[in-house]
Chain A
Amino acid sequence: MAAPTLTPPAPRLASVSRGGRRPRRRLKDNVTAYAFLAGGLLCFGLFSWYPAGRALVLAFQQSNSVDSATWVGLDNFRLLFDDPEFGAAWRNTFAFTGLALVIGFAVPFALAVLLNELRHAKAFFRLAVYLPVMIPPVVTALLWKWFYDPGPGLFNEVLRFLHLPTSEWTNSTRTALVSLVLVATWANMGGTVLIYLAALQAIPGELYEAAELDGASIWQRIRHVTIPQTRFVMLMLLLLQIVATMQVFTEPFVMTGGGPEDATITVLYLIYKYAFVYLDYGSACALSAMLLAFLGVFSALYLWVTREAT
């Protein structure tokens, strides 16, 4: 199967030095270049750079849609710390991310290792595992909400059929968060599996051959060849997954509304609530700034790791 690659058709050659040009020509080049950049820069300015700065300003202001903003120092942060939902939101977000890593990190890796060994129906496995990724997240959330229905939902019907105890799923504070993690894992696993598969296929076969000659068992080969050879991809996916799952919103919003009893309220959900339910933009931005500071570390690590490697 000749998959299209993202490598250009010819190797890179050293580019010719541009020194020694006349200044007028250089000016004209610059004008052209900035004409090309204008549209992109305008959009980045309006929708990335300006909002990022504004978030930091608004975090220290009282702001709603009616009155003009006033400086309030750290009041927004104090208000947040006094809100019981604030602690719940961070706890749930960390628990969600932790559970998503426990399930969502090991399972796709094991699956990719298994799929890489299967010699048949490769296309089927790839299509099937990636199918949930293409289903719109809203549809996935509504679909699983229906499966989780404690009455005629599919999951409890299956459990009854197997004579196992049924579960309250998203309706109980104990199981609600785990239920949402299952949905997110099902929906997002496909991309991770395919990335691992690509990494596994890049491992030189001689390494396995040499390990086998040395008498290494399958588990030893996984431990000493497969895992070290894919360590970079693992680290990268770990960081990406942390940044993505910390921003979970659609599943709790659609499936549980943050409940029962704040059991599934997340940081992004709370930002949404402050901004669009309480209309307190300042506190919403203060919370955004906290999330930004926390996730910025992981994003920076990710960029650093990928730059080091390329």
Chain B
Amino acid sequence: MNFDMSPYGIFIWSTYGLTVLALAALTFWTIARWRAVKAKLAALEKI
């Protein structure tokens, strides 16, 4: 694998950085919401 991006490194790494950040946040937010709702339902079903 070749990680030498010169002379366009700033554009390429910015694209990948932004993508990883956006998709990781989206995945985290989606899973966190799923877990929260699941826990709320479990608590309600116990009552």
Genuine A/B complex = no
Instruction: Give chain A's interface residues, CB within 8 Å of chain B.
Output: none
Instruction: Give chain B's interface residues, CB within 8 Å of chain A.
Output: none
